[in-house]
Amino acid sequence: MSRLIVISNRVSRPGTSGSQGGLAVALSEALRESRGIWFGWSGETTDHFTGQIGFSEDQGVKTATIDLEEQDVDEYYNGYANKTLWPLFHFRIDLAEYARDFEGGYNRVNQRFADTVSPLVEPDDIVWVHDYHMIPLGQMLRQRGHGNRMGFFLHIPWPPTRLLVSLPHHTKLVQTLFAYDLVGFHTEEWLESFRHYVEREMGGKVAGDFVTLGDRTIQAIACPIGINAREFAAAADSAEAKAIYDQIRASLRQQAMIVGVDRLDYSKGLEERFNGYARFLKDHPEHHRKVVLTQIAPPSREDVGSYRQIRATLDSLAGRINGEYSDVDWTPIRYVNQGYPRDKLAGIYRAAPIGLVTPLRDGMNLVAKEYVAAQDPDDPGVLILSRFAGAAMQLRDALLINPYSPEEMSDAIQRALAMPLDERRRRWRAMMDSVESQDIGWWRADFTARLTALRDVEPDRVPG
C-alpha cells in the first residue's frame, strides 16, 4: 500500500481535540492504515520563518507542522484565503478584497509549505492536498521534481466563470490545478463551473472525467463528502446526548425547537434565517409561544472584518426580533455563541423537530447530514435545506428552499410543523439512506482509490 501524505492548512491530532470532526477522523484512519503523514500549519506564529518541522505521533497518526510568521498569517490566511478566495468562491464579490500583498503572501506561504514538505515526500507516496489555501502547492511540488500521484480536493464551491474572472491573475491560479492528477469537487455543479472556465477562458478540452490543457490531462470529478453516519447516530444515543436532550426538552415544555448550527460565517445565511423566522412569527401568530429557534453559532475568523460585521449584525437582529416578540415567559430566539462537544451536539439535533440549514452558498454542508443522522428513526424531525448547499443535490427529501425568500422559509417552517409522521418517516428514510451509503469512509475510499489507480507522472511530463 502506498503511503499517503495529506497536506492542508491545519492538521488535527487525534489525541488533542477530543471532538475531531468526521473529516479529521477519516483522514486519520487513512493515514494510520498507510503509515502516512499529515502536514500543515501549526496555528502558531514565529518571528522568523525557519521551516523547522514539529513532528508528533498520536494514536498511530503522524503529523508534521510548521510555524508561520505573523505577516504570513495576515496575507495568506486572513488575507488571500479568507478575504479574497473564500468570499469570491462563495459568490460574494462584493466582499472580496484583491490586494497584491495577499497574493504575494499566499504564494510565499505555499512555497514555504513546498520547501518544508518536499524532503518528506518519497517517490511512491500519494499526495492529497486540501482546499483553497493550497491551490498552487501541487505545482510547486512538481517544480521540486516530484512525479508522485497527486490529488486536490476543494471543500468550497467553484464559482461561475463570470465571477471568477474578477480575480486578478485568475488564469495563473487555475493553471496550477493542472499539476495535480485528480481534482475533486463536492457536486456536479461546481465541477461544471470548473470545466466551463477551463474551456472558455483557457481553451481546454473536456472529455468525460478528463480535462486537457496543453499537454496535461487531469481527471476532474464530483465526489461528495459525507459524515460518519453510524457514529453520529450512535452519538445521539449517548448518555451526554440524552442528558442535554432532557435538559432542552424540560426547558421547552411543549414548544417545538427549530435548530441551526453554523460557524458564524456570512455564507451560512444566518441573517436570512433570522429574517425568515421573523417572517414566520409575523405570518403565524397562532404559533407564538409554541416555537423556539435555537441558533448555535461559534465565532470564527474574528481577525477578518466581514466576520466581525456579521456578528454585530446578528447580535442586533436577534435582539430586535426577541424584543418585538418575546413575552415574560417566552423568548423566540436562543442565540448561542459557543460550541458544544459532538455528543452534546447530536443530542441538540435530536431535540429539534426541525433542522434549519440556510446557506447562501455552501460546498457541501455537513450540518444538514448530521441533523439527519441524529434523528430518532421512529419520530424523525424535518430538515429544511437551502437549495444552494451542495448537500441539496443528495438530500432531495428535505424541504428545499430559497434562503433569500423569507416567505418560502416561513411556509416551509409551517409545513414542517404540520407534517404527518408517515411523511416525516418516509422523507427521513430516503435522506438517511443517502447519508449512510455515501458516508465519509465512502468519500475517502473513492478519492484515494482513484488516486491509487493512477500511474506516476512520467518525469518528462512534470509540468513546470
With a CB cutoff of 8 Å and minimum separation 6, the contacts of 88 are 96, 159, 163, 164, 166, 167
| b/e burial code for range 371-401 (CB count within 10 A of at least 16 → b) | bbbbbeeeebbbbbbbebbbbbbbbebbbbb
Residue 115 or 240: the one with the smaller Cβ distance to ligand GDG is: 240
26 touching ligand GDG, by CB under 6 A? no
Catalytic residue numbers, as ranges: 155, 362
326 is written with which cell numbers?
418575546
Site for ligand GDG in 377-406 (CB under 6 A): none
Residue 342 or 450: the one with the smaller Cβ distance to ligand GDG is: 342
Choose the stretch contacting ligand GDG; rule: CB under 6 A; options: 301-309, 360-368, 374-382, 428-436: 360-368
Residue 189 or 411: the one with the smaller Cβ distance to ligand GDG is: 189
Q: Which of 72, 272, 362, 408 binds ligand GDG (CB under 6 A)?
A: 362
Q: Which of 64, 156, 179, 270 binds ligand GDG (CB under 6 A)?
A: 156
- Give the C-alpha separation, 393 to 434, whole Å: 11
Q: Is 352 helix (H, G, I), strand (E, B) or coil?
A: coil
51 touching ligand GDG, by CB under 6 A? no
Site for ligand GDG in 291-320 (CB under 6 A): 296, 298
Choose the stretch contacting ligand GDG; rule: CB under 6 A; options: 54-62, 100-108, 357-365, 424-432: 357-365
Q: Which of 339, 411, 414, 446 binds ligand GDG (CB under 6 A)?
A: 339
Q: Is 127 helix (H, G, I), strand (E, B) or coil?
A: strand
Residue 156 or 317: the one with the smaller Cβ distance to ligand GDG is: 156
- Give the C-alpha separation, 411 to 384, whole Å: 11
Site for ligand GDG in 228-287 (CB under 6 A): 261, 263
Choose the stretch contacting ligand GDG; rule: CB under 6 A; options: 314-322, 362-370, 414-422, 448-456: 362-370
Give just the sign of the alpha carbon dihedral 208, 213, 217, 221: negative
- Give the C-alpha separation, 34 to 55, whole Å: 17
155 touching ligand GDG, by CB under 6 A? yes
212 is written with which cell numbers?
486537457
Tell me the helix, strand and coil percentages in the chain, rounded to 5. 50, 20, 30
Q: How far is the CB of 361 from ligand GDG (least distance, A)?
A: 9
How does DSSP assign 39-79, residue by residue?
Answer: EEEEEEEESS-----EEEEETTEEEEEEEEEHHHIIIIIII
Residues in touch with ligand GDG (CB under 6 A): 19, 21, 23, 155-156, 225, 261, 263, 296, 298, 339-342, 345, 362-367, 370
